């Protein structure tokens, strides 16, 4: 399920927020599949979201919200913003 072992470290905060918005607006079908991300125009993300594939809506929302909260907390602990990868050039805001 985790493929290359990167988890969600290669996904930017903005990409995670975009995915979370899509989930909250009911734009995704579950369990989450790569083909669903591609269908929603999230192709760049689909290549790096192995850790999220197979999750239901509740699981997706929970994991993404926790990752964002942890990154924010890490940023506060280090006196700045936690390092998040830059969005892919084709990523939608």
Tens of pLDDT along the chain (93 residues)?
Answer: 445 567 899 999 999 999 999 999 999 999 999 999 999 999 989 989 999 999 999 999 999 999 999 999 998 887 765 555 555 555 554
Residue 4 lies in a domain: no
Residue 72 lies in a domain: yes
Residue 64 lies in a domain: yes
pLDDT confidence of residue 2: 43
Domain around 72: 13-77
Residue 26 lies in a domain: yes
Residue 5 lies in a domain: no
Residue 61 lies in a domain: yes
pLDDT confidence of residue 31: 98
Residue 86 lies in a domain: no
pLDDT confidence of residue 1: 43
pLDDT confidence of residue 92: 52
pLDDT confidence of residue 77: 80
Residue 93 lies in a domain: no
Which is nearest to 13 in space by CA: 77, 91, 87? Answer: 87
How many domains are contained in the chain?
1
């Amino acid at each position: 399920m985790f493929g290359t072992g990167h988890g969600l470290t290669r996904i930017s905060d903005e990409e995670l927020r975009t995915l979370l918005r899509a989930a909250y607006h009911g734009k995704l079908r579950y369990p989450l599949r790569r083909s669903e991300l591609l269908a929603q125009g999230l192709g760049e993300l689909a290549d790096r979201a192995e850790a999220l594939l197979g999750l239901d809506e509740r699981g997706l929302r929970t994991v993404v919200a926790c990752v964002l909260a942890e990154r924010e907390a890490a940023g506060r602990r280090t006196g700045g913003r936690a390092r998040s990868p830059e969005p892919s050039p084709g990523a939608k805001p």
